[in-house]
Amino acid sequence: MRLHVADHPLVAHKLTTLRDEATDSPTFRRLADELVTLLAYEATRDVRVEPASIRTPVASTTGVRLAAPKPLVVPILRAGLGMLDGMVRLLPTAEVGFLGMIRDESTLQASTYATRLPEDLSGRQCFVLDPMLATGGTLVAAVRFLLERGADDITAICLLAAPEGVQVLRDAVEADGTGSRVSVVTAAVDERLNELGYIVPGLGDAGDRLYGVV
Ligand code: URA
């Protein structure tokens, strides 16, 4: 599994304000949106393209266009929705699917409660949006779900990750033999998870901060 931590001063600057508890919801939403666009630039480095011939006003030339089938962007409900606009700003022709995941608090297993995705994902590059890679349970379940539907390769875009969650995802995909098809792009890998499953120092509950729940 490939892990890419976006090492850029603008990413670090926006992330610092995002973490600040004094940042209000409208500012948090705007910064998350901008940060996703910067992360999307990194995450789409290997997006598939095909040659294209065009005419400029001056001459004929060749370039590239996004290849078919179109990439699929999959926000994980609820907090992943806050990342969607920032992602499709860079990939406006991508298809968008939705995955609702919930964690059973007794077994800590994540399961799917809602899906709106093409039945067959054969050959598709998928970009999963989940702001916080904390315990890793949700992302493991989401990645397995997409791979079972035939997804070709999957890049998870997370604002923040905990080392524990990265390790859980890495172990799961290596055990499944799918490690070479899964990547994570994040703005930072923080110190650890606390006993409540929050990322430390983190930014708190991403869904609550995006949607203004107190
Ligand atoms: N989910 C969040 O929103 N925040 C965390 O710190 C961990 C999981």
pLDDT in the model for residue 185: 98
pLDDT in the model for residue 137: 94
Mean pLDDT of 97-119: 87
Q: Examine the pLDDT at 108 and tell me if it is beyond 90.
A: no
Ligand 1 contact via 164 beta carbon (within 6 Å)? no
CATH number at residue 89: 3.40.50.2020
Containing structural domain, residue 33? 2-211
Sign of the CA dihedral with 94 first, then 78, 135, and 118 last: negative
Q: Which residue has the higher pLDDT, 194 or 111?
A: 194
**Number of domains into which the chain is organized:** 1
Question: In angstroms, what is the span from residue 24 Cα to ligand 1's centroid?
Answer: 17
Interval 51-85: pLDDT, tens = 999 999 999 999 999 999 999 999 999 899 999 99
Ligand 1 contact via 206 beta carbon (within 6 Å)? yes
Mean pLDDT, the chain, whole residue set: 95
**Stretch among 89-103, 107-121, 147-161 having the lowest mean pLDDT:** 107-121
Percent of the chain surpassing pLDDT 90: 93
pLDDT in the model for residue 214: 55
Question: Ligand 1 pocket check: which of 19, 108, 205 to mutate, most ligand atoms within 8 Å of Cβ?
Answer: 205
Ligand 1 contact via 198 beta carbon (within 6 Å)? yes
Q: Examine the pLDDT at 21 and tell me if it is beyond 90.
A: yes
Predicted TM-score of the model (pTM):
0.95
Q: Which residue has the higher pLDDT, 158 or 104?
A: 158
Nearest to 198 by CA among 167, 168, 161: 161
Q: Examine the pLDDT at 3 and tell me if it is beyond 60.
A: yes
pLDDT in the model for residue 179: 97
Question: In angstroms, what is the span from residue 98 Cα to ligand 1's centroid?
Answer: 20
From 103, 144, 152, 178, the catalytic residue? 103
ipTM metric:
0.97
DSSP code string of the chain = -EEEE---HHHHHHHHHHH-TT--HHHHHHHHHHHHHHHHHHHTTT--EEEEEEE-SS-EEEEEEEPSSPPEEEEEETGGGGGHHHHHTT-TT-EE-EEEEEE-TTT--EEEEEEE--S--TT-EEEEE-SEESSSHHHHHHHHHHHHTT-SEEEEEEEEE-HHHHHHHHHHHHHHT-GGGEEEEEEEE-SEE-TTS-EESS-S-HHHHHHT--
Q: Which amino acid is at 135?
A: T
From 152, 171, 176, 208, the catalytic residue? 208
pLDDT in the model for residue 172: 98
Pick the residue whose CA is nearest to atom 4 on ligand 1: 205
Confidence at 100, pLDDT banded by 50, 70, 90? very high
